[in-house]
Chain A
Amino acid sequence: MLELHHVTKSYAGRRRVLDDLSYTLAAGEYVAVMGDSGVGKSTLLNLIAGLDTPDAGDIVIDGVAMATLNDDAATLLRRVRVGFVFQAFHVLPHLTLLQNVALPLLLNGLDSARAEAMLNAVGLRGRGQDFPRQLSGGELQRVAIARALVHRPALVLADEPTGNLDPETAHSVLMLLRDEIKNNGASAIIVTHSVAAAATADRVLMLTDDGLYPA
């Protein structure tokens, strides 16, 4: 599903963040990536999503090498095959919950009926016309999960999805995320500092200065 071949990335005037990183993520696999702050976890997600480009190496999603794609092509690939969940929710404040969840469907030219089903699935039945300001943090992250999965992406990328939530809420959100990823048959990479969060994944990897290793 996802192949990383000798990926290297450094930032101008700073040390190398990722150095000759290689990994293959199988279809339907759900892995957690842990590591110290600044080791490059978020950078890794940005590179996979095509939001940033590696200095060296290849990233291949479903047989398509990201390096061969220009910005528009990478955007289209991301639109169809990738779903994102962020630590800070990033739910658009001026759209209703239903509209927020339906966004990927509209971008992909799909019928938006599934948005309501996804809202129901994440426990927000009947809240479709509410606005984000009416929701708690846990509820907002549920909306973000529904939005990440509504268009049935092959790959879900989650960057500290429970970093802003209390432990109890975090647990329920993580279980929901896992269930929905599995129900949708997607692959997923979750980047986290939390051992509890990592424990919900099929496999836990440690990202260090030397590479990506099983924990």
Chain B
Amino acid sequence: MNARNALLTRWLLFGEWRAYPLRALAAVAAIALGVGLGFAIHLINAAALDEFSAAVKSLSGQADLEVRGAQPDFDQRYYPQLAQHQGVALASPVLELDAVVPGRQQPLKILGIDVFRAAAIAPDFIGIPAQGRAFDTLADDAIFLSPAAMSWLQVHQGDLLRLRSGVHIVTLRVAGGLVHARAGQRIAVMDIAAAQWRFHRVGRLSRIDLKLTPGVNRAQFKAALQRELQGRLLVTQTRERTERSADMSRAYRVNLNVLALVALFTGAFLVFSTQALSVMRRRSQFALLRVMGLTRAQLMRQVLLEGAAFGVLGSALGIAGGYAVAAAALHFFGGDLGGGYFAGINPVVHFTPMAAAGLFVLGVVVALLGCAAPAMEAAHTLPAPALKSGNEAGALTQLANPWPALAALVLGALLTQMPPVEGLPVFGYIAVALLLIGTVALMPRLSGNFFRLLGLRHARSAVVTLVLARLGNAPNQAVIALGGVLTSFSLMVAMAIMVASFRVSVDDWLSHLLAADVYVRSAQGGDTGALDTQAQMTIANAPGIARVDFVRQTQLTLAPDRPDVMLIARDIDVRDPGKILPIIGAGIVPQHGLPVWVSEPMADLYGYRLGQQIVLPINGHMQQAVVAGVWRDYGRQFGAIQMRLADYRALTGDMDVNDAGLWLQPGVTPAREIATLQHLPFGALLEFAEPGEIRAVSLKIFDRSFAVTYLLEVVAIIIGLFGVAATFSAQTLARVREFGMLRHIGVTRRQILGILAAEGGLLTAAGIAVGFALGLVISLILVFVVNPQSFHWRMQLHLPWGMLLSVAALLLASAIVTALIAGRYALSGNAIRAVSEDW
């Protein structure tokens, strides 16, 4: 393009923007919102994931390999065996605890280390004692805290720190700091023997870090050691742990990013409607340029360039805004976007050029796609007829071709049957996009036929005839008006149905699970506050209690490359497990073998089936078990296994429990029983809750985890409404001559406003009706394809009628009001002059 052509391009571009600045701004804002949300979510997730991974890496120091148990701790007899193993230069034993801090919601991570061994592998975690107290690193009452931990616990060197050990309090002396700990990392270090003794873990280790002899092949050594250990312990690398952390939150992160893209997708429709209207309005101008010698290719390039300009500006603003939003969100709310995967870390935003470039390009491509059809329309319009006014209704006729739309719908339906890709419902998302595109593209034909049919039956008055004739005979304009609103409303309907279905299912599930009268928990966070047998007996024998259901929960690693699953042990009647578990389908009573009940995600992830023999690594032994049933679990996305408490105790010797459900004797109220238990010697350390409270808190957490989802949906709806406002205003103002003619032949001003309100209302009502049907179909995909494939959760369908009808009514009212406001401008010559036909 030479300089003069570039000048012409600029004139045409800026002339259009100068004349319709608000419309251009709306299109730019739509792209900016979509790109900005996507970038902000990416930055927040990336920062949280980076910080989480860095924290995991720092805990492992420079170890080549880690040896861990399938459960949180294992017998230390493996330590000398590994320390003397050929190829091992150094073995460092570690006891890792999440200590319960009285009065705090979150635990304090404590590393119990052998300071002489750890110095070679993780020197950053060697505490710095006070001057003249070098032996504090070995003292049994000393603990060293990172600066962040000191600040969080509000203690200094020399202060005393109270921590929970079972139902007792352990008091430790803050002997110094960990000056090389990561900024914001709350961590404590103490001598391993002291930690084992103080927290009742004598003879237990969490892991053994290995430094290999130089020249030993790490992969080969790892494979050989894993074979040697026969599955009793797991050999892992730090990288695997960080990857596992990323995998845990991946589906949630991807789903959030897809929602951000929905806003961008809706923005593409706004660009489409802006450019389509602009091209229709400028048909004669473009025809003139063609007559004067502008080639088809040049004209097409001009329209595409206008769309690309929206994309470039919107993307640039979006990247800048997204970065600012991410920085603010991380500063004020931390890195957890409601999913609960990154709670308790302190990430900092880092600009990621690749992601920024990717989203920038995506924003521009989306804007270009939005103006592709208008550009084609502009280039292929014949100049001679287009120079004459009155043929705008014939514009965009290619949109009325139903075959591409029907093909998209059929392909979308077929893709719903495809399996997930790498654990992500990729085809499910593509199916949703195809259904949206297909339905939007079919809108002209659907609405045209519907209103033509309506016109044949009800064309009695002139006003009704005018309304129905326009809606029936200019259907291509319907798709322009409704593209954005149809997209956003249908997606809102789909999300609302999915979330409501999920919420109702969770509520039902909680009602089934929370069958006891009162629940007792020894500590909210951490693993050092379990109830020992004496405490259990004290509770069970307390007055007013008819029955107690003690529950032991512990982590179980089935595969090093997969997130841990939860092992839950409790009293389960093998003949009637449904009394305590929300069993799905039939169960079996195994004649031989250990009965276990696996959760629904477990069955999905590990392929467990009813009656299947499985092997579980429990207490260092490979234990044969039989799947006696599958139960519904919305609490643990990566799977949970329930077994009888007696079986668990026989296998592990672990007699502790974490929680208890209490059934009260007739006439005893929960409040009275709680008061009784609070008077026990350790009663002050216990937490009590009634089922209603747990249910309320759980649903609050549920709603919080979907808060970002609601926010993104609201953004998409606002963009959609922006599209309606822009389109109705533009179409109404473009019809000034038509209204002038109607006024000349005796149509009153009020009647014209009535026509506009009716057109706007009917068109939006059609959009809402189709949007609802489409939203319902998409919700079925979300409920029965996307959710099971992403999170392995299945649920019953529930339609939130009240919310859907409210949003539909609001949308309808907004559309009618917009049409009326635009109509008032159109009927006021001065107003048109004043705003240059803008809105």
The reply to whether the CB of B132 lies closer than 8 angstroms to some CB of chain A is no
* B4 near A92: Cβ-Cβ < 8 Å: no
Tell me the bound Cα distance from A112 to B8 in angstroms: 11
Residue A52 lies at the interface, judged by CB distance under 8 Å to chain B: yes
Interface residues of B in 344-383 (CB under 8 A from A): 382-383
User: In the complex, which residues of chain A have a beta carbon less than 8 angstroms from the beta carbon of B288?
Assistant: 86, 90, 92
Residues of chain A contacted by B12 (CB below 8 angstroms): 95
CA distance A112 to B284 in the complex (A): 24
Nearest residue, chain B, Cβ from A73: B295
Q: Which of A78, A86, A106, A133 contacts B5 (CB 8 A)?
A: A106
Chain B 290-312, CB-CB to A under 8 Å as 1, else 0, gives 11111111000000000000000
Produce 1/0 per residue, B483-524, CB < 8 A to A.
Answer: 000000000000000000000000000000000000000000
Q: Are B292 and A107 in contact (CB under 8 A)?
A: yes
Residues A106 and B7 in contact, CB atoms below 8 Å apart: yes
Instruction: Specify which of B285, B290, B293, B297 is in contact with A92 (CB 8 Å cutoff).
Output: B285
Chain A nearest Cβ from B13, distance in angstroms: 10
Contact (A75, B294) CB under 8 Å given A46-B384, A90-B285, A109-B2: yes
Measured CB to CB, the closest approach of chain B to A200, in angstroms, equals 23
* C-alpha spacing A108/B298, complex, angstroms: 13
What's the least CB distance linking B21 to chain A, in Å?
11
Per-residue CB contact flags for chain A residues 129-162 toward chain B (1 = under 8 Å, else 0) read: 0000100000000000001000000000000000
Q: B297 to chain A: which residues have CB within 8 Å?
A: 72
| CB 8 Å contact bits of B461-491 with A (1 = contact, 0 = none) | 0000000000000000000000000000000
- Tell me, in angstroms, the Cα distance from A92 to B291 when the chains sit together: 13
- Return chain B residues, CB-CB under 8 Å to A105: 4
**Residues of chain B contacted by A42 (CB below 8 angstroms):** 384
B297 CB to closest chain A CB (Å) equals: 7
> Contact: A84 with B291, CB < 8 Å?
yes
Q: How far is the CA of A76 from the CA of B297 in the complex (A)?
A: 12
Cβ–Cβ < 8 Å partners of B19 in chain A? 93-94
Q: Which B residues touch A112, using CB under 8 A?
A: 4, 7
Contact call B5/A94, Cβ cutoff below 8 A? no
Q: Max chain A CB contacts within 10 Å: which of B289, B290, B383?
A: B383
**A75 B293 Cβ-Cβ under 8 A:** yes
Do B296 and A71 touch (CB < 8 A)? yes
What bracket does the count of chain B residues touching chain A fall in? 20 to 34
Considering only residues 94-142 of chain A, those with a C-beta below 8 Å from chain B are: 94-95, 99, 103-110, 112, 133
* CB interface residues, B 109-125, toward A, < 8 Å: none
A95 touches B292 (CB 8 A): no
**B16 at the binding interface (Cβ < 8 Å):** yes
- Tell me if A6 counts as interface (CB < 8 A to partner B): no
Annotate B1-35 by CB proximity to A: 1 below 8 A, 0 otherwise.
01011011001100110110000000000000000
Within 8 A of B (CB), among A48-105: 49, 51-52, 71-72, 75-76, 78-80, 84, 86, 88, 90, 92-95, 99, 103-105
Contact with B293, one of A52, A79, A133 (Cβ below 8 angstroms): A79
Nearest-CB distance from A172 to chain B (Å)? Answer: 24
Mark B309-353 against chain A: 1 for CB-CB distance below 8 A, else 0: 000000000000000000000000000000000000000000000
The CB with the most chain B CB atoms within 10 A, among A76, A103, A133, is that of A103
Cβ 8 A contact of B296, one of A72, A79, A94, A103: A72
| Pair B5/A52 contact, Cβ less than 8 Å | no
B387 within 8 A of A: yes
Residues of chain B within 8 A of A93, CB atoms compared = 19, 285
Question: When chains A and B are docked, how far (Å) is the Cα of A92 from the Cα of B285?
Answer: 6
In the docked arrangement, what's the CA distance between A49 and B384, Å?
10
The distance from the CB of A24 to the nearest CB of chain B, in whole angstroms, is 24
Q: Smallest CB–CB gap between A55 and chain B, Å?
A: 16
A92-B285, A92-B288 given; A104·B387 CB < 8 A: no
Q: Report the minimum CB–CB distance from B601 to chain A (whole Å).
A: 59
On chain B, the residues within 8 Å of A76 by CB distance are 293, 295
Once the chains bind, are B387 and A90 in contact (CB under 8 Å)?
yes
Q: Give the shortest distance, in Å, between B24 (CB) and chain A (any CB).
A: 12
Within the assembled complex, what's the spacing in Å between the Cα atoms of A80 and B285? 19
Q: Name the residue on B nearest A47 (C-beta).
A: B384
Interfacial chain A residues near B285, Cβ < 8 Å = 90, 92-93
A110 contacts across to B, CB distance below 8 A: 4
**Closest CB in chain A relative to B832 CB, distance in Å:** 11
Picked from B11, B284, B295, the residue with its CB within 8 Å of the CB of A95 is B11
For the complex with contacts A51-B290, A92-B288, A93-B19, 18 further pairs of A-B residues with Cβ separation under 8 Å are: A75-B296, A76-B295, A90-B284, A90-B288, A92-B15, A92-B285, A93-B285, A94-B18, A94-B19, A95-B11, A104-B293, A106-B11, A107-B5, A107-B293, A107-B294, A109-B4, A110-B4, A147-B292
| Chain B interfacial positions (CB closer than 8 Å to A) | 2, 4-5, 7-8, 11-12, 15-16, 18-19, 284-285, 288-297, 382-384, 387, 389, 833
25 contacts between A and B (CB under 8 A): A49-B291, A51-B384, A71-B295, A72-B296, A75-B293, A75-B295, A76-B293, A76-B295, A79-B292, A79-B293, A79-B294, A84-B292, A86-B387, A90-B285, A90-B387, A92-B285, A93-B285, A104-B292, A104-B293, A105-B4, A107-B8, A107-B294, A109-B2, A109-B4, A133-B833
Q: Which 8 A-B pairs have the closest CB atoms?
A: A79-B293, A94-B15, A106-B8, A94-B19, A90-B288, A106-B4, A51-B384, A46-B384
